[in-house]
A and B are shown apart, each in its own frame.
Chain A
Amino acid sequence: MKSKWLSGPYVIWMVLFTLIPLGIVFYFAFTDGTGQFTLANIQRLGAYLPILLRSAWMSIFSSILCLLIGYPVAYCMSKASPTRQKIYYMLIMLPMCLSFLLRTMAWVSLLEDTGIINNFLRSLGLSPLPLIRNTGAVILGMVYNYLPFMIMPLYTVLIKIDHRLIEAAQDLGCNQVQVFTKVILPLSVPGIVSGITMVFVPAVSTFYISQKLGSPGAVLIGDVIESQFKGAYNPNLGAAMSLILMALIFLCVGLMNHFSGTDDEEGVATL
């Protein structure tokens, strides 16, 4: 089929602006400041492994939380009238258009010890809560920021589920819970996979959220990589770290695709 060649411009584009820069990252990871070949950057990575794993765990947790929160919302959206659906769709897209930095800062002023929520609690005579500078706050920041990326693919998958299948299941004697677990949930797996990927991947490499909402020790791998370029000026180590991060992401995404049974072509396609 000729339409294969339609992706020609895209392939050329990606070779030029993705693969060559990736090559530059590889070059940096295996050289030192003077351009000599070295494995020192890779050897130093061991020390950063706990941070890497910590970031991975936190983003996995956030993705699951996003799924648990996003699924009912997407389901509710898909059941609404077409006009309502459009409105919901817009309301989900709108936050993504506006500055992520400012929105995170707004969370800081909400959650601080002398912030809006705690001041409100104090005015009610209640004792203030420790809302900020803990792991929970970072997770909240991640969920807040990436939730739309979960809802969108779930919604697109849920609206195209054939209603006749659900009716058939009901006719065959399934109750509501069974209809959900046996029909709707399996059919929405591609959306779940796609949503988790779109949340997990950017969440692992985030750096701003933990700086603003995390505790003093809450450093994520994204922060460390950023500081290699900004504080220490060691782009070689930073490049090595980002390679490892990339490997970890590909591993996680690959595993998820495998377990969801959508590996091979369709798995990546719906990703």
Chain B
Amino acid sequence: MKRFNKIFTFLVFLFLYIPMILLVVSSFNQGTDMAVWKGFTFSQYGELFRDRSLLRLLGNSVLVAVLSSLIATILGTMAALGIHAMRGRMRRIVLGVTNIPLTNPEIVTGVALALLFAFAGTMLKINSILGFWTLLIAHVTFNLPYVILSVMPKLVQMDPDLAEAAQDLGCTPFQAFTKVVIHEILPGIVSGALMAFTMSLDDFVISYFVTGSDFVTLPVEIYNYTKKPIQPKIYALFALMFGVILLLMVAMNLLQLRDLKRRRTKLTQRREPSR
């Protein structure tokens, strides 16, 4: 049974990674077609680095993703704490509203938000209001539910006496939060932040409608490649992003591992003299 489960898990991961491996392989292909191998080349990477606009778009995407997930995580965690303290109808209404950004088709959300921004623009007499800030607001808006939905279960699961106990032991409510509560819900916050980051990095429909002419993100540009087949330098970009994210994740893991080991050695050192 256990072995079966392990093999199954491996197969699922294979399923998830097959298309990505194919894309990485295609970045070294001489032809444009992913299904036809025409020989090995590094030239796609050269093309990619010559294309300054593509790299700028990638930078834009990362900037918006980092900022919006950061804001959404802070705002969302606060909101989750607040909702957790609510009861009854109030709580149900707020949670219901939380679901709305998830349920609307993206194109509808995009157009509705764009109309709102354009209206605000005419009110504030700003000619071209659409741009970086509107894009950021839109991304925070659709990131928030993911953060809240990740943090809420952790709050529900947390022992409500914990914060009180901390306060009884002399903590101020703020200290009780930073010293106790945040440690309990941290996994939820982290996964919410990560999810928000990924959603934001890969959004194209909403972004398309709420962004102006001076700030465009990468997925929007790729989505507009309808006149011609996708240039293979895009595959190179994909492979590069794959590599960088993988490296970042591995680095994060190694750091954590080192932390863990250090803490363990400290623990054993502390224990030794008492023996």
Contact indicator A97/B153 (Cβ below 8 Å) = no
CB neighbours (8 Å) of A14 from chain B are: 97-98, 100, 141, 144
**Residue contact A86 to B78, C-beta cutoff 8 Å:** no
A83 in the interface, Cβ–Cβ < 8 Å? yes
Question: Would A75 and B5 count as touching, CB distance under 8 A?
Answer: yes
| Given known A-B contacts A97-B201, A229-B107, A269-B95, A10 and B194 have beta carbons under 8 A apart | no
A: residues with CB less than 8 A from B are 1-11, 13-14, 17-22, 24-25, 28, 69-70, 72-73, 75-77, 83, 86-87, 90-107, 109-110, 112, 114-116, 119, 144, 147-148, 152-153, 156-157, 160, 176, 190, 194, 198, 201-202, 205, 207, 222, 225-226, 229, 235, 238-239, 242, 245-246, 249-250, 253, 264-266, 268-271
Q: Is the CB of B18 within 8 A of A110?
A: yes
B44 on the A face (CB < 8 A): no
Residues of A within 8 A of B141 (CB): 13-14, 17-18
Known: A73-B12, A270-B156. Contact between A98 and B202, CB under 8 A? yes
Please, how many angstroms separate the alpha-carbon atoms of A5 and B17 in the complex? Answer: 44
B residues less than 8 Å from A264 (CB atoms):
92
Name B85's contact: one of A1, A99, A250 (CB within 8 Å). Answer: A1
Complex-state Cα separation, A10 to B9, whole angstroms? 38
A116 touches B35 (CB 8 A): yes
A26 to B184, CA, bound (A): 41
By a CB distance below 8 angstroms, the chain B residues around A225 are 105, 107-108
Which one of B48-56, B234-242, B262-270 contacts A? Answer: B234-242
Encode contact with A along B218-259: 1 for CB under 8 Å, 0 otherwise: 110011000000100011001001100110011001001100
**Interface presence of B20 (CB below 8 A):** yes
Establish whether residues A152 and B202, one from each chain, have CB atoms under 8 Å apart when the complex forms: no
Q: Which of chain B's residues have a CB closer than 8 A to the CB of A147?
A: 12, 16
Q: List 17 A-B contacts (CB under 8 A).
A: A3-B85, A3-B173, A10-B76, A14-B144, A91-B13, A97-B201, A97-B241, A101-B223, A102-B23, A106-B19, A153-B153, A198-B102, A202-B102, A242-B104, A250-B103, A253-B99, A269-B152
> Chain A residue with minimal CB distance to B88?
A265
**Does B165 have its Cβ within 8 Å of any Cβ on chain A?**
no
Name the B residues within 8 Å of A18 (CB-CB). 97, 100-101, 141
Are B191 and A95 neighbours in the complex by a CB distance under 8 Å? no
Interface of chain A, helix or strand or loop or mixed? Answer: helix
Chain B residues with CB under 8 A of A7: 78-83, 86, 94
**How far is A106 from B26 in the complex, measured between Cα atoms in Å?**
10
- Any chain A CB within 8 A of the CB of B162? no
Nearest neighbor of A250 in chain B, beta-carbon distance: B103
Q: How far is the CA of A245 from the CA of B75 in the complex (A)?
A: 28
Neighbour of A105 across the interface among B34, B87, B113, B218, CB < 8 A: B34
Who on chain B is nearest to A19 by CB?
Answer: B97
Does B126 lie at the interface of the complex (its beta carbon under 8 Å from any beta carbon of A)?
A: no
In angstroms, how far is the closest chain A Cβ from the Cβ of B208?
A: 11
Q: A21-B115, A99-B218, A103-B20 are in contact. List 6 more A-B contacts (CB 8 A).
A: A10-B75, A13-B144, A24-B115, A91-B16, A93-B194, A101-B219
Closest Cβ neighbor of A20 among chain B residues: B116
Kindly list the 9 A-B residue pairs having the minimum CB-CB distance in the complex, ordered from nearest. Answer: A7-B82, A10-B79, A106-B19, A21-B112, A205-B105, A6-B82, A109-B34, A96-B198, A109-B35
B166 beta carbon closer than 8 Å to chain A: no
Q: In whole angstroms, how far apart are the Cα atoms of A70 and B11 in the complex?
A: 12
Tell me the bound Cα distance from A269 to B188 in angstroms: 13
Report yes or no: A246 in contact with B103, Cβ–Cβ below 8 A: yes
**Is B28 interfacial (CB 8 A cutoff)?**
no
How far is it, in angstroms, between the C-alpha of A190 and the C-alpha of B188 when the chains are bound?
14
Interface core residue of B19, B138, B223 (most chain A CB under 10 Å):
B19
